[in-house]
Amino acid sequence: MSALVDLMDYDDVLATYDPVLGLEVHVELSTNTKMFCGCPTDFGGEPNTQVCPTCLGLPGALPVVNGKAVESAIRIGLALNCQIAEWCRFARKNYFYPDQPKNFQTSQYDEPIAFDGYLDVVLEDGETFRVDIERAHMEEDTGKSLHVGGATGRIHGAAHSLLDYNRAGVPLIEIVTKPIVGAGERAPEVARAYVSALRDLLRALDVSDVRMDQGSLRCDANVSLMPKGGDTFGTRTETKNVNSLRSVERAVRFEMSRQGAVLSGGGSIVQETRHFDESSGSTSAGRRKETSEDYRYFPEPDLVPVAPSREWVEELRGTLPELPWERRRRIQQEWDLSDAEMRDLLNAGAVDLIAATVEAGASSAEARSWWVSYLLQQANLRGEELAALPITPVQVARVIELVTTGTLTNKLARQAVDGVLAGEGEPDEVVAARGLKVVSDESALRTAVEAALAANPDVAEKIRGGKVQAAGAIVGAVMKATKGQADAKRVRELVIEAVSA
Amino acid sequence: MSNPVSDEITRSTAAELAERIHRREVSAVEVTQAHLDRIAGVDPEINAFLHVDGTGALAAAEAVDAALASGEAPASPLAGVPLALKDILTTKGVPTTCGSRMLEGWLPPYDATVTRRLREAGVVVLGKTNMDEFAMGSSTENSAYGVTRNPWDRDRIPGGSGGGSSASLAAFEAPLAIGTDTGGSIRQPGAVTGTVGVKPTYGGVSRYGLVAFSSSLDQAGPCARTVLDAALLHEVIGGHDPLDSTSIDAPVPPVVAAARQGASGDLTGVRVGVVTQFAGEGYQPGVLRSFDAAVQLLAELGAEIVEVSCPHFDYAMGAYYLIAPSECSSNLARFDAMRYGLRVGDDGARLSAEEVMSLTREAGFGPEVKRRIMIGTHALSSGYYDAYYGQAQKVRTLIARDFAAAYEKVDVLVSPTTPTTAFRIGERVDDPLAMYLADLCTIPANLAGNAAMSVPSGLSDEDGLPVGLQVMAPAQADDRMYRVSAAFEVARDAAQGGPLIHRVPDLAVTA
Amino acid sequence: MPAISRDEVAHLARLARLAVTEEELDTFASQLGVILESVAKVGEVAAGDIPPTSHAVPLTNVFRADEVRPGLTQREALAAAPAVEENRFRVPRILGEEQ
Ligand SMILES: [Zn+2]
């Protein structure tokens, strides 16, 4: 299918057009219960077992707002530097769709709980790009449909569909950016970095699982092109189903190339919903709507307005954890890193790992050294992200501790790490199983030294004669005899001691 | 084959029955059976009930009798008394149709809060009463299950939407009933059947389990043959419900005490406002004469009568027929053949979900419901919202302000409940606007969320049919209107030679 | 102005998912026109800066604790379904896109 789409060379697109982005991110809150009823929100339950009259849309049932969800919405708004509404209402968004039990979604319309904020996004080269936030509002998720009988399991060609309403009513926060202009060639990167930064932020706030693969964080990307230097936005498309950070970047890039080709060919862009296909990296048009949508929004009469007192808002501001960018600033200072060093750590995805290793007792210098040198090498060899290595910060900290206390040499430590990476267990188990311990038993070492001196009487004589550097040969022999598990420095001391005795 | 013992039971008030049941002079089962017999005898003629739950009712009555026999105190002042429930409140495992084909055969898996409170209070639910489809109408002619007939004249409508509830009272099929009132659906049927109907303050009775027509206007309330009975029922069903976000978190106003106080017959110091807008063209002369006589009686009871103008009430009808249809177009969207209720046109392959939805809604809804859904869809659509829905909500504010200004001068407001007495079946079915006029006087209280009730004022001198006096009170001051109504009721009976309800013509009982 | 055309009624019926008949289109067009003309009276009120009333009770901030409450069993949930398959509501094929 995608072969039929004309694409314009990316550089050519940028030579002629400026991209404009708009990102809509839906976040499922990790509250215990749904937005408007007491049903659990757990993922993956048996179909239609987490439902009640309210979330099934049964006649007569009524919604009651989950206070925790409002709290989470306000905290998200505050973390995004938003204003918090002094008074706002829920609204009904009316449209018929089988996954929507009431055939309206209870959402917020022109009175979002949070508005006018921004998120500073750090790009790969360390530059910061500010993404302005239009609004963050509360709403509810839909049920899930399973399409049966179609060749692809997709909606088209299906004979019928099966509905599970466990997800219906799960609290969602929709975060909408203002138009992102001026990103130019970095538009795809900005889109990805924004979603990534938002994910980190939501994780720090502990309000959502932010699992893109499970749909608890979903991104819709609006893309349009306007003639370079112009100020009138072009017609945009909205690409849905963008389920990973990498997909966000690819989808934006693809749409830019596709729209560039259409516009350059004298065509015009149709305002439409498009779907991103992970395997081909392309977007395709959804089914055209016969009539333009008219959601007939009106204030939800079953719910009363939300009017967060300023005291409550300030109290919630006080509960904000250290936010990702504050933490980065603090860490850079505490670890005494240059901007370039900090950027390298960020790009390597090492900051959290190092911080956790420090948390587990290691010094920041040691922790950093392990993660960005030996472990990064191992990750590169495996073609994996650093975080995907099968070793935990706690394990790394233990290895560092073993070195610091003299149980392992650096060389042995690397072998211990290799063992952990190979799945041989905890560092201590690897050390035991592989017999990696430094021989620190003094009498054993002394015996080995005596033996080496006896075997090399001429060398012993030289040392006695003052040629201390000749001790190296004896140390070497002892190290060989102990299979390298002795502390060479200590062996050397013992040799000198033995000769001068 | 009328039976004097059971006649005596079915013609008693709820308060009298409760007292006798609690003193164990008569059992709840006997009382329930007497009413079930009466229903079996007269309902083929009246059609007040869509579903009679004899088994459930007798079981509930037995439970009350057993509790009393074991020495327990009655669960409530109405324990053991039977009641007719409007078929718009959900009843677990008992059919709930809202008078619509759409919900034919639907067995709700849950009880409405009102239903639950009735059960917990030991009130015996006899069955579910007929109504205009989804409460849209003023005559029960919009029920998918046939019209209910007015016991005063069976060629006439019993009012609506809750015509079944009110007719069941006037036909002595039940001493108590529950209605719901969005624009007058409790008060207007009360007026035309000579019974008492109360629309409590919005938020005073939980809407959880009340199948929504217009959420910001709907309010469930008590129906009875006397003011005291209505008050007793009000206290059973009223009060805060955490399942309804619009439920008021405050104690129920002391309506029983107010009704008892009013029954002493003294209204000295009470200021009664007569709304000048509710008279003139469109009002039946006999209705206005009955109203004037009622105001005269109130003055004789010591009330101070004041004329009050509420200029924006003239726009109430327009605002109501924009707001209610708008909300209804959204509330009724859930009837789509996907999860419950009727499904039409599913051939297993060819027709899509969209087509099945449209075919089902076309087949399952009657014409009045369709009209209102379309009006509401129009009023909310982009380009029309500001002129229609938005403007209607502003008018709503102005009406509330008119009320507020009036209540600075008076304690309660009065008006006729309806412009006319019961009209003939079929007379207005093809003229929606004429039908809408039935709610002319009742709508303002819904828009403002205030309390209002209808108490019979007498019979219209030109047709001998009941007329209702509407008594309105500020939000959360429901007790005021009970006091005035109870006082009026005593004076009326004294002036007219006994309870009005006893003048309902005898119904032929089929054996 | 409130007169409403047959096409507009057809559009409303589509939005409201009502498969109305040709005959109904005519009836509804005339009835809706009359009703809209009557309710349009609200436009005569000068209400420029009057705040709209969406709720009849002056309540705000009605919240529920984030605690799980028992809901319906799977059986209860599916009991009224016109069709069930694999413990899910079975519905005819869906044409439109998800919103
Ligand atoms: Zn639920």
Which conformational region is residue B12 in: left (phi greater than 0), alpha (psi within -120 to 50 degrees), or beta?
Answer: beta
Averaged pLDDT in 10-residue chunks for chain A of 501 residues: 74 95 97 98 95 98 98 98 98 96 98 97 89 98 90 71 97 98 95 96 95 92 94 92 92 96 93 90 77 86 98 97 88 90 86 92 92 92 89 95 86 91 92 79 81 86 82 84 78 82 68
For helices B227-237 and B478-496, angle between their N-to-C axes, nearest 10 degrees: 160
Residue A477 CA to chain centroid, in angstroms? 51
By the CB < 8 Å criterion, does A161 face chain C? yes
Q: How many angstroms does the Cα of residue B129 sit away from the middle of ligand 1?
A: 29
pLDDT at A1: 42
* pLDDT > 90: percent of chain C: 86
pTM score, two decimals?
A: 0.90
**Do residues A169 and A257 share a domain?**
yes
N-to-C CA span, chain A = 86
User: Which tokens in the block code for residue A238?
Assistant: 């909205």
Q: 3-class SS at B395?
A: helix
> Do you know the residue count of chain B?
511
Chain C contacts in chain B segment 87-126 (CB below 8 A): 106-107, 109-110
Best residue in C23, C53, C61 for a mutation probing chain B (most B CBs within 10 Å): C53
Of the candidates A40, A160, A164, the beta carbon closest to that of C93 is on A160
Q: Is residue B273 scored above 80 in pLDDT?
A: yes
Of the candidates A68, A105, A306, the beta carbon closest to that of C60 is on A306
A56 close to B339: Cβ distance less than 8 angstroms: yes
Lowest mean pLDDT among A135-144, B65-74, C14-23, C42-51: C42-51
Q: 3-class SS at B385?
A: coil
By the CB < 8 Å criterion, does A303 face chain B? yes
By the CB < 8 Å criterion, does C68 face chain A? yes
CA distances from A92 to A71, A141, B135 (A): 21, 13, 22
**In terms of C-beta distances under 8 Å and separation of at least 24 residues, what long-range contacts does B424-431 make, across chains too?**
B424/B155, B424/B156, B424/B157, B425/B139, B425/B141, B425/B147, B425/B149, B425/B155, B425/B156, B425/B157, B426/B141, B428/B139, B429/B139, B429/B141
By the CB < 8 Å criterion, does B269 face chain C? no
Place of tokens 């103008």: B309
For B201, half-sphere exposure in the C-beta direction (CA atoms, 13 angstrom radius) is 28
**Closest to A178 in 3D by CA, of A78, A81, A320:** A81
Q: Are residues C15 and A294, on separate chains, in Cβ contact within 8 Å? A: yes
**Do residues A332 and A302 share a domain?**
no
- Decide if domain C6-45 falls under CATH 1.10.20: yes
**Degrees, nearest 5: CA angle A289-A291-A297:** 105
N-to-C CA span, chain B = 7
By the CB < 8 Å criterion, does C6 face chain A? no
**Do residues A246 and A144 share a domain?**
yes
Name the residue in chain C with its Cα closest to that of B317: C39
Enumerate residues 6+ apart whose C-beta is below 8 A from B222. Answer: B176, B177, B178, B179, B196, B197, B198, B229, B230, B231, B233, B234, B237
The dihedral of CA C25, C31, C36, C37: what is its sign? positive
Enumerate residues 6+ apart whose C-beta is below 8 A from B50. Answer: B87, B95, B97, B99, B127, B128, B129, B130, B143, B145, B164
DSSP per-residue string spanning B131-183: -SGGG--SSSTT-TT-PPPBTTBTTB---SSSHHHHHHHHTTS-SEEEEE-SS
**Do residues A241 and A387 share a domain?**
no
Enumerate residues 6+ apart whose C-beta is below 8 A from A30. Answer: A41, A206, A207, A208, A209, A216
CA distances from A371 to A353, A354, A358, A417, A419 (A): 8, 7, 11, 11, 16
Lowest mean pLDDT among B59-63, B344-348, B440-444, C32-36: B344-348
E strand segments, B192-301: 196-199, 220-224, 271-275
pLDDT at A325: 85
Domain-embedded: residue B152? yes
Of the candidates A96, A162, A299, the beta carbon closest to that of C90 is on A162
- Domain of B284 in residue numbering reads as 4-312+398-503
Best residue in A161, A293, A302 for a mutation probing chain C (most C CBs within 10 Å): A161
CA distances from A152 to A111, A155, A393, B349, C4 (A): 40, 8, 43, 17, 45
By the CB < 8 Å criterion, does B475 face chain C? yes
Measured in angstroms, the CA of B458 and the nearest CA of chain C are apart by: 32
Determine the average pLDDT of the residues in B109-127. Answer: 98
* pLDDT > 70: percent of chain B: 99
Q: How many angstroms does the Cα of residue B336 sit away from the middle of ligand 1?
A: 19
Q: 3-class SS at A400?
A: helix
Provide the domain count of chain A: 3
Which conformational region is residue B132 in: left (phi greater than 0), alpha (psi within -120 to 50 degrees), or beta?
Answer: beta
Distance CA A156, CA A150 (A): 7
Domain boundary among A415, A434, A453: A434
pLDDT at C99: 54
Provide the domain count of chain B: 1
Specify which residues A122 forms β-bridges with: A128
Q: Is residue C98 scored above 70 in pLDDT?
A: no
Distance CA B174, CA B172 (A): 5
Determine the average pLDDT of the residues in B499-508. Answer: 92
Specify which residues A285 forms β-bridges with: A274
Q: 3-class SS at A53?
A: coil
B74 close to B203: Cβ distance less than 8 angstroms: no
Determine the average pLDDT of the residues in C68-89. Answer: 97
**Do residues A336 and A305 share a domain?**
no
Task: Sort out which chain B residues have CB atoms less than 8 A from C32's CB and list them.
Answer: 371, 374-375, 378
**Do residues A312 and A352 share a domain?**
no
Q: Residue B154: how many CB atoms within 10 A of its CB?
A: 16
Q: How many angstroms does the Cα of residue A50 sit away from the middle of ligand 1?
A: 7
Domain-embedded: residue B461? yes
B230 close to B216: Cβ distance less than 8 angstroms: no
Q: How many angstroms does the Cα of residue A144 sit away from the middle of ligand 1?
A: 15
Domain-embedded: residue B346? no
By the CB < 8 Å criterion, does C14 face chain A? yes
Measured in angstroms, the CA of C70 and the nearest CA of chain A are apart by: 7
Q: Residue B152: how many CB atoms within 10 A of its CB?
A: 24
User: Which tokens in the block code for residue B456?
Assistant: 């019979």
pLDDT at A289: 58
The CATH number of the domain holding residue A468 is 1.10.10.410
DSSP state of B261: H
Determine the average pLDDT of the residues in C5-19. Answer: 96
By the CB < 8 Å criterion, does B329 face chain C? yes
Task: Sort out which chain B residues have CB atoms less than 8 A from A160's CB and list them.
Answer: 348-349
* pLDDT > 90: percent of chain B: 94
pLDDT at A361: 92
Measured in angstroms, the CA of C29 and the nearest CA of chain A are apart by: 20
N-to-C CA span, chain C = 34
Name the residue in chain B with its Cα closest to that of A51: B109
Q: 3-class SS at B412?
A: strand
Distance CA B84, CA B43 (A): 13
Q: Are residues A155 and C15, on separate chains, in Cβ contact within 8 Å? A: no
- Mean pLDDT of chain B, nearest integer: 96
Q: Residue B508: how many CB atoms within 10 A of its CB?
A: 10
Q: Residue A61: how many CB atoms within 10 A of its CB?
A: 26
Name the residue in chain B with its Cα closest to that of A149: B349
Q: How many angstroms does the Cα of residue A32 sit away from the middle of ligand 1?
A: 12
**Do residues A96 and A242 share a domain?**
yes
User: Which tokens in the block code for residue C58?
Assistant: 């002056």
Q: 3-class SS at B19?
A: helix
Measured in angstroms, the CA of A267 and the nearest CA of chain C are apart by: 25
Chain C contacts in chain A segment 3-42 (CB below 8 A): 31-33, 37-40
pLDDT at C69: 97
- Domain of A37 in residue numbering reads as 2-316
User: Which tokens in the block code for residue B87?
Assistant: 């078929």
Q: How many angstroms does the Cα of residue C50 sit away from the middle of ligand 1?
A: 37
- Mean pLDDT of chain C, nearest integer: 92
Each residue's pLDDT tens digit, B19-46 = 999 999 999 999 999 999 999 999 999 9
Catalytic residues of B: 86, 161, 185
**Closest to A133 in 3D by CA, of A113, A149, A153, A151:** A113
- Assembly ipTM: 0.96
DSSP state of A372: I
User: Which tokens in the block code for residue A288?
Assistant: 């055209």
A136 close to A114: Cβ distance less than 8 angstroms: yes
Residue B247: asked if its preceding bond is cis (omega within 30°), the reply is no
Name the residue in chain A with its Cα closest to that of C92: A160
By the CB < 8 Å criterion, does A356 face chain B? no
Task: Sort out which chain A residues have CB atoms less than 8 A from C60's CB and list them.
Answer: 87, 304-307
By the CB < 8 Å criterion, does B23 face chain C? no
What's the 3-state SS for chain C?
A: CCCCCHHHHHHHHHHCCCCCCHHHHHHHHHHHHHHHHHHHHHHHCCCCCCCCCCCCCCCCCCEECCCCCCCCCHHHHHCCCCCEECCEEEEECCCCCCC
Q: Are residues C68 and A67, on separate chains, in Cβ contact within 8 Å? A: no
Best residue in A54, A62, A144 for a mutation probing chain B (most B CBs within 10 Å): A62
A33 close to A67: Cβ distance less than 8 angstroms: no
Distance CA A192, CA A211 (A): 15
